Chains A and B, each alone.
Chain A
Amino acid sequence: MQETTDSGPSGSKSRPKRALSFLRVQNAYAFIGLVLIVIFAWVFFVIEIEPQFYLQEGERARYAWDTFISQFIIGLAQGSIYALIALGYTLVYGILFMINFAHGEVFMAGAYIGFFAINAAEQSGFLESQTALAILLTMGVAVMGSVIVAILLERIAYRPLRGAPRLVPLITAIGASITLQQLFLRLFGSSPRTYPRISLFVGQGMWGCEPVDGTTVCEGIDLISKSYDVLIFNQEVRIRPFFFVILFVSLLLMSALWFFIQRTKTGKAMRAVAEDKDTASLMGINVDRTIVITFMLGAALAGAGAVLFALYNRQVTPFMGFIPGIKAFTAAVLGGIGNVPGAMFGGLFLGVAESVFPSALGLPNQLKDVVAFGLLIVFMIFRPTGIFGEVLSEKKA
């Protein structure tokens, strides 16, 4: 990880006398450290120091640690969904050097297909009796749906254009994105579909105890829908356990992907194809198949992310893929497109940043997208190829 390439595939080069070049940090971890220190210092300033100047007796500061902590946790959850989508962008980019603009729609497709699955489960009562299993099955169906859409996408819109100029697949990707959006709109209607409100209690008899009719009933903690007041770092914060579920599931999936790419034969084939398609095919790797698998992996993560997103947001529309898609792509670029850990980090960072920054900077929440893209631009100035640089996966030394 220490060896990061500083520029695109055309080879590393130093460019003379650039403004601000002395500010460019070569090492990714040093850069992250620097950014984190700056952010933390700013937050500390806003919460601890600034109020002393304007706060009257007995007034509450406009921004305090509890807000920060809850926003941070929400941001992590949001960010892990960005990261799941961003991985799809990054995998495809790493292998084909193209922006799969329709990836947001793959995500949307997963959410829709998941809706019909979970709706069927609700109608049949299965959701009530076997909640955890039903959710898992929903996720499985959604993943399958996303994967099918991605395979079709690759087969129809991208594969015939493998050798074309780079802008051409970008346009088919945009076309495919619009087509999918409109197709889902025409097929399933413009009114949003709503996921059922689900409660999944864990730890019955241990947690969530309340006195009922003189006896103490412990109904457990609802992992999905309810929010609880919790003490974190001595601050009372109201959070939904589901945020942690999202974070946990995402990290699990990302680790699985990481393992897959690093350890399995197919993963190695993917890395080989990313390095050099012609040589890989000479080595007996089926390039077409490897590319399809890459699309499938990205789609699977997006499908899983879509169900998590939909369980949290509950509303599903044909246009829901657009904004998360763009954000996730931004995250992928932030981390260094084509770079798997970069996408994970970029996603988490972007999620936290857009959740924490607007209020920390005293801006209206309306401007969170401006903050997100502003950050991207600032980062691009200092690290033009993303935080971790532009590689699919670093070569084993």
Chain B
Amino acid sequence: MDQPLLNVIDVTKQFGGLTAVNSIDLSIKPGLIASLIGPNGAGKTTFFNCVTGFYTPNEGKIIFDDRPIQGMSTDKIAKRGIARTYQNIRLFGDMTVLENILVGMHHRLTAGMWRPILGLDRAEEADAITEAIRLLEFVGLEGQGDYMAANLPYGMQRRLEIARALASKPKLLLLDEPTAGMNPIETDTMMAFIRQLRDELGLTIFLIEHDMKLVMTISDQVSVMDYGRKIAEGTPKEIQNDPTVIAAYLGTNIEDEEMEAEA
């Protein structure tokens, strides 16, 4: 239980001359909600992409569930148990809501090419659909199953994206700015929902977020990135009082910050 679920060791990702992620170390223990924060362009999403296998890190190791996963293709990593959502929602727009979720179940289903042709996948399909409907209910989209995903309202699309990720029964769920574009009420609902994910499904959650209230309220562990480097890590309280973090966010030097704080 004390073994970290995700252990990132000294990962670096460069694009040409630009170092987007610079020797990051990071580990997340099972059952935690971990957040990754940092100013725009700090390399957070690139880091996510390294973890999910979309990018191959130039250096370093990523250990997930005791096995190295760096350099594996994204579908293999998904199979290992990492699922994600995207900053700008990326649903399969011209498929129905249920079909989106069924795609999320892809690696858990077994039918290949011949079984459907011979009509032997019916039982599996029926089970999968039942489970997908249950998932829809869980994320609060009951009755929306046969709508085109692209026609859902924005908030529902976010939930659907999470449901799709959940459909793969992940051990680790990566959420890239789950509340982007939401109003405070919606954000609160999402916050409760993320908690529910951890508490009811026992997921480990790793999220990128700009909403500090949300981050500080639900996170067990917060890491801060700036210019590709990890500049701080700790509990929300520690981070809130970390001078380098404040400097990174406000772009002023530390003394000014402290003077303002005293004033």
Contacts and interface: CB of A to CB of B under 8 A. Distances in A.
Do A's and B's CB atoms come within 8 Å in the complex?
yes
A12 B15 contact: yes
A16 B72 contact: yes
Contacts of B73: 16-17
Grouping DSSP codes into helix (H, G, I), strand (E, B) and loop, the B interface class, with mixed when no group exceeds half, is loop
A16 B15 contact: no
Contacts of A14: 55-56
B71 A17 contact: yes
B53 interface: yes
Chain A contact residues: helix, strand, loop or mixed: loop
Interface string B71-82: 111000000000
A14 B54 CA distance: 8
A373 B87 CA distance: 40
A248 to B, nearest CB: 38
Interface in B57-86: 71-73
Contacts of A17: 56, 71, 73
Contacts of B15: 12
A338 to B, nearest CB: 21
B71 A13 contact: no
Interface string B26-68: 0000000000000000000000010001111000000000000
Interface in A102-159: none
Contacts of A13: 49, 54-55
A12 B18 CA distance: 13
A172 B49 CA distance: 39
Contacts of B53: 16
Contacts of A16: 53, 56, 71-73
Nearest to B70: A16
Nearest to B16: A3
A260 to B, nearest CB: 31
Interface in A6-42: 12-14, 16-17
A88 B55 CA distance: 35
Interface in B227-259: none
Nearest to B49: A13
A26 to B, nearest CB: 9
A289 to B, nearest CB: 31
Kindly name the residue among A12, A13, A16 whose own CB sees the greatest number of chain B CB atoms within 10 A.
A16
13 contacts: A12-B15, A13-B49, A13-B54, A13-B55, A14-B55, A14-B56, A16-B53, A16-B71, A16-B72, A16-B73, A17-B56, A17-B71, A17-B73
Interface of A: 12-14, 16-17
The 8 A-B pairs with the shortest beta carbon distances in the complex, nearest first, are A16-B56, A16-B71, A16-B73, A14-B55, A14-B56, A17-B71, A13-B54, A16-B53
Given A12-B15, A17-B56, 5 more contacts: A13-B54, A14-B55, A16-B53, A16-B71, A16-B73
